[in-house]
Structure 1
């Protein structure tokens, strides 16, 4: 079925689209990075949100372990 209204996926961030593309759940990232799921959820909502450098470092390290890809802060957020 086609989701004509794109419900639940509107204004998703680059970070969220990366998770979707790689089949990674927000909870997977939160657990691996040692941050709260609400932090990951906020980062998935819109590109307007950016993590602190400390939190971003944890998330990037977790994504590298989960995907075996060389991802970096600039792939998702701007300084």
Structure 2
């Protein structure tokens, strides 16, 4: 039961936000057309910072899902 709601997993700021909103990495990956591994890295590795092109896809997908977020909310630029 440790996988539920991010319990027991190392999470980045983005990952904590994803968990809080009840989103899944899979739905973000599918909506953004970004690889599932990339989304997983964004959620789990606090040191990971996506390329600008990748973040633009993620940001657009999240906006389509009703969330208005900025890259600097989650990642050090």
TM range (shorter): 0.7 to 0.9
Instruction: Report which of the two structures shows the higher radius of gyration computed on alpha carbons.
Output: 1
Report the alpha carbon displacement of residue 69 of structure 1 after superposing the two structures with TM: 2.7
Per the alignment, residue 59 of structure 1 pairs with: 58
User: Unaligned stretches of 5+ in structure 1?
Assistant: none
Normalised TM-score (structure 1): 0.82
Per the alignment, residue 22 of structure 1 pairs with: 21
Size of the alignment, in residue pairs? 72
Report the alpha carbon displacement of residue 78 of structure 1 after superposing the two structures with TM: 1.3
User: Unaligned stretches of 5+ in structure 2?
Assistant: 2-6
Give the RMSD, CA atoms, in angstroms.
Answer: 1.5
Structure 1 runs (4+) deviating above 3 angstroms are none
Task: Please show how residues 40-79 of structure 1 align to structure 2 within 5 Å.
Answer: 40-66=39-65, 68-79=66-77
Per the alignment, residue 32 of structure 1 pairs with: 31
Distance 1:73 1:30 in 2: 16
Normalised TM-score (structure 2): 0.84
